[in-house]
Structure formats: structure tokens, C-alpha cells
Structure 1
């Protein structure tokens, strides 16, 4: 069953709704129908998610202009997620990509303000007008004020100087103009962590939600720093440099029992499966462990994974690590000119990182 459904395409980028988002919207309109919240609130929440899509499309549009591939945008209950490749390490490009989303929200807020000026609704507004209340309203000035407030908060919140917020990437781009990319990431992540600690302190005295946001920011900053450190250490290293070239393979008619004995004897937990010299699949210990003992005469061709994710010898090792991590798999067959030339595992990459761990970063 698909977890998300495409609703339209913009700038060549599919925009999808996650099933959990559809359930959330259904829940919102059900409670609006029951009178727990007003239809006005439900409508504003819907428009809020529309602005989230605009926010993500703004990021993605600028990223595509710089050659970054954007797979899709998925709308989740927590917001929008753009499936894009690694952001360029050019400070100017990263700054523009990161700032595009918040800028879109601030432009919408500005457009609402212009609308208020046109209808003459600015003078009659109070601070409370910029916050949504559970009161049905057909007042255009109140609606514009509410929508202005929502977009202003979204834009400014995303500019907080902390990963994974857009402001954290803007801050890194600023630092990267003055120091190496890895040091810029470390400095920006440090600012983000300190900001998160401050939010925890404020959350203790004012609002518990601030503590949850702070945890999200702290963990995001820490993960971003770790990813960049790994990327920095693996820079210039290709799959060819670390893959296992002497690959032991099995055939589709090898029994589960024979494959298990091979694994124990050679101490490898996964093997490519070749059929008459062509790669047909891959079988792992996890696949075999699911087969009951009384069925271990089953050919591995019946249980092997046939839909393969592959690596290329000239591919950067970091790209391969991202494939392995994203798909939660242990190893990738390495193919060159249609032939199996090696296999690379997450363990191989981690071993290289351990060796390089003592090498100082720039």
C-alpha cells in the first residue's frame, strides 16, 4: 500500500500527501462538523498547510536551479519534507536555497498586510487580531490578520539560527564564507545547541512545548554535524577504493542450508546471487533466518531479494553510505558495464571512517 499520494506537480516536482496527513485533515473537519472548533479554524489550518507547500516549493525551485535533484515533496502532519540531494557546499547557493522558504512566508505575510491596507483594516486591528481564536468569522480584515500572523510566525520560526531550521543553514553559509565547511558546520551546530538549551530553560518557566522543540533542534544540530563530519572524512574516497573485489557468489538453486553453511564458514552475512554469470539477486542472513529448519532445502532463488539497489565503482563512498542508510540495508553489489565487480557494505565504510578518525579535519 502506498503511504503517500501525488496531488499535483510544480516545477517538475511531484507534491504528495502522506496518508497520515489525510487522516489529520479528516479529523480536523470532523471536529469542526461536531462544533468543537469552528469551520473558520479548519479552513485556516488547511491554508496553513498550503503555505507549507509553498515554503518547500520555494526551497526546491532554487535548489533545482543549482542542479540539485528534487525527488518529491511530501506533506506530513508535522510539515513538508523535500526529498532532495545534498545541498551544495557553496555558501552563496546554500544561503539562497535555505532562505527561499522563510522568504516565501514573509512575502505572503507582506501581501496580507497590503491587503489590509487596501481594505482599510489596519487601523482597527489589535495584537489579538493576529492570533487565531475559535470564533467563526467572515470578517476579511480579521482573516488577513490571522493569515499574516501565521506566515510571519512560520517565516521567523524557520529563521531561528539552529539546525535543522533554515536559519541554521543560513548561519552555516555565513560562517562558511570565513572558514572551512566542516568548521562552519561545527560552529553553526554549536550555536543551535546553545539555542536549544536556552529554549529548555524558557520552556520550564513558560511552556512545555518549547522543551519538545528544543529537543528536536538539539538532536537535529547534532545529526547535521555528524553527517558533515562523515562526509568530510569520506571526501575523495570512491567505492572502488574500499569495496571487496574478490566476491563470493551463490546460485539461485543453492539451498538455504548450503547458504547458511557458507555464511558461517566465510563469516559474511550477505551474498550476491548470479544466474549464468548475471546478477539475479542478493541473499542475506536475515532472509535465511526466516526459513524454518524443516524447509531449509528451499532454493535461495525463492527467497532472495530481486529488486536491487546498486553501487558504481566511481561513485563517492558517501553516496553509497546514504543509499545503505536510507534503505536500511547492509551491503550493495557494485556493478560496472553490467558486470559484478565487487560488493560494499556499511561495515566496510565504517572501518574506513575508524581509520580516518585520527586524521584532523581542515
Structure 2
């Protein structure tokens, strides 16, 4: 997530704070500072009043971190890679690559967060005022995340329960539909009672749409390899070419990025961004990007799309035996998905007619 700062590393997982976290921490501190007991500390004298207010605001996000860490550790146990945990204005999100699709594994990962929050809340309902309030917020976190709507844990729990009967894609569509319906209800209620509820509803609705779209896309592309979609024998630029040569090539071919080769082997990639501020006589090897992300012709198309999204790049060289045999772009994949989606719609229409 952009505009995030790494704050620590736990169990090999980077924990980052988004800039929006500062805003919500200030807001929460103010809420605890002015509210009366049991949900605030306005009855205390400064500096304890301020100290408790700040500590409680930070503690809420500590609870979120424990919640997301629980998801992450269970996911790692099942072999998934966890890139990072980001804390932001709406809570936290664990970036888990290749989330297991087996119902039992998805259920275990999804339920781990609410279960950890629930256990914390039970242990923290003590006579000590600060801990009791912390326990109360952990209980809210557990219950709220069990709402059956993406991107909440409850949406994934619901999908895991439906997958055995309906299959992964249909189960996702059903769960997303439930989530969108609940989001609309929450959004309308928020307009009358609390605008914050409307903002959360918007977040839930977008999450449901994105999850449904991602799974549908994965389903459409499941049987396709990079070999099926790539542009074979792409134009490559020799490493001793000049920036002038690259600009001329871009103007002629209308492509904004080219693999750079030396002795027939891939050594980099040069894009419009690389040559924009370079001198015309500069050698390509002096301005190109050397950290090239590549895929093999047998890589799945959906995996290639995921890599592009993660690395924020628009194209990937296809390499076999250190030699460039093709190139695949995000637009190539999106066009394929659009065509497949149209054909799928036609098939459904024809089956209904029959």
C-alpha cells in the first residue's frame, strides 16, 4: 500500500503504518479524551487523562495488529507467503499471496483473527478500567469482522462454507452478493444515524466488488498460460543502442517498453520513463532498468497479472533459457479476459434459450 512506513518486523512479516493512521489516532485520542467513563477518561486529571487517551487509541491498533497477525501466522502454517501487514484508517490488512482455496484452510485462516480477538476480550474483562475497555474493543473487533461480507473475515468464512456445495467461483459470487446487500443497508442507515457507518459500508461494498472481480478473472484465465497470450519474438534493443534509437523506435512502433539484450541474453528493460530525462547520446545500458521481472512461457496468465499488479509494471518479458521469446502486457491479459467474459455470457444465454 502506497504511503506506508515500516514500523517493525514480527515473525518475518513487515508491519507498516499508512499515513492515514496518524489521522485516526488523533481522532481516537480526542474521543477518549472528551468521553465520560466507561468509554473515555474525561473524569481524570491531566496528564493522566491525556496519557490514557493516547494509550487507548494506540491499543486499538495493537488489537488490530494482533488480529491480522493471527491470520498471517495460520496462513504461513499452510505455506502461504505473507508480504506485509498494513495498519490504516479503517483498521488493518494482511497481504497474503496465494491464499489457499481449500475450504478448511480458508476457514482456518479467516476465523483465526476473530478468534484471537475474542480470546483477548475474554481475558481482558477485568476490574482494571483500561484493560476492560481494551477487552471491549477486542470483542467489537471480533464481532464486526464476522459480518458475512468481503473484505471482512465473515465473507471468507461464508465462502469457505459454501465452496463445497457450489464451487469456489459461485461461492465467491454468493458471498459478494451478500456483502453488497449488507453494505447498501449499512450505507442507508449511516445516512440517518452515523456517517462513519456509511464510509465503512462504502469500503465493504468496494471490497466485495473487487473480490468478486478478482476471482471471476482468475476463473476465466485459469486454463491459459503466458505462451498462449504473449507477443512472440518481441522487438529487443541492443545494450549499446542510444537513447535516440529507443525514442525513434517508440515513435515508430508505439510501444513504451522494450527488453534490452546483450549477446542474445536479457540484461534489462528500457521504458519511456527511463529515457525521458536522458541525453540522446546516452547508451541504453546506462539508463535501462536492470532489475527485470520475468516470467516463463508456462507461467499462468493470472499469475503474470498478479505479478504486474504487485510490482506496478505494465509488461513482462517472457524468458526461456535466458533468451527472450516473447512479451506479455497487462492490456493483453485484460483484452483476453474481456473476450472470454463475452463468450461466457453468450454461452449462458444460449443455454437458457435451449
* Structure-2-length-normalised TM-score: 0.85
What is the match of residue 7 of structure 1?
8
What is the match of residue 351 of structure 2?
none
SS in 1 for 2:233: coil
**CA distance 1:282–1:188, change in 2 (3 Å):** same
**Structure 2: distance between partners of 1:75 and 1:231:** 27
What is the match of residue 156 of structure 1?
143
SS in 2 for 1:82: strand
Query: Any conservation in 2 of the 1:196–1:217 contact (CA below 8 Å)?
Result: yes
**CA distance 1:296–1:214, change in 2 (3 Å):** same
**Structure 2: distance between partners of 1:164 and 1:272:** 38
**Structure 2: distance between partners of 1:37 and 1:184:** 49
Query: Any conservation in 2 of the 1:6–1:14 contact (CA below 8 Å)?
Result: no
Please give the root-mean-square deviation of Cα atoms over the aligned residues, in Å.
Answer: 2.8
What is the match of residue 351 of structure 1?
335
In the alignment, structure 1 residue 236 sits paired with structure 2 residue 223 = yes
What is the match of residue 95 of structure 1?
107
SS in 1 for 2:342: coil
Deviates more, 1:225-234 or 1:104-113: 104-113
**Structure 2: distance between partners of 1:276 and 1:80:** 48
What is the match of residue 285 of structure 2?
301
Query: Any conservation in 2 of the 1:29–1:39 contact (CA below 8 Å)?
Result: no
Query: Any conservation in 2 of the 1:8–1:15 contact (CA below 8 Å)?
Result: yes
Structure 2 unaligned runs (5+)? 34-44, 349-354
**CA distance 1:193–1:3, change in 2 (3 Å):** closer
Higher relative contact order, chain-length normalized (CA < 8 Å, sep 6+): 1
Structure 1 unaligned runs (5+)? 122-139
Query: Any conservation in 1 of the 2:121–2:139 contact (CA below 8 Å)?
Result: yes
**Structure 2: distance between partners of 1:220 and 1:26:** 23
**CA distance 1:354–1:3, change in 2 (3 Å):** closer
What is the match of residue 246 of structure 1?
233
Deviates more, 1:352-361 or 1:100-109: 352-361
What is the match of residue 335 of structure 1?
319
Deviates more, 1:27-36 or 1:59-68: 27-36
What is the match of residue 36 of structure 2?
none
Alignment of 1:51-130 (within 5 A): 51-113=63-125, 116=126, 121=127
**CA distance 1:265–1:26, change in 2 (3 Å):** same
Corresponding residue to 1:224 among 211, 219, 222:
211
**CA distance 1:5–1:286, change in 2 (3 Å):** closer
**CA distance 1:34–1:328, change in 2 (3 Å):** farther
Report deviation, 1:265. Answer: 2.6
Corresponding residue to 1:318 among 298, 302, 327:
302
SS in 1 for 2:150: coil
Q: Tell me the number of residue pairs that the alignment of Structure 1 and Structure 2 aligns.
A: 331
Alignment of 1:179-218 (within 5 A): 179-218=166-205
**Structure 1: distance between partners of 2:48 and 2:192:** 29
Query: Any conservation in 2 of the 1:68–1:85 contact (CA below 8 Å)?
Result: yes
Report deviation, 1:106. Answer: 0.5
What is the match of residue 20 of structure 1?
19
**Structure 2: distance between partners of 1:90 and 1:167:** 16
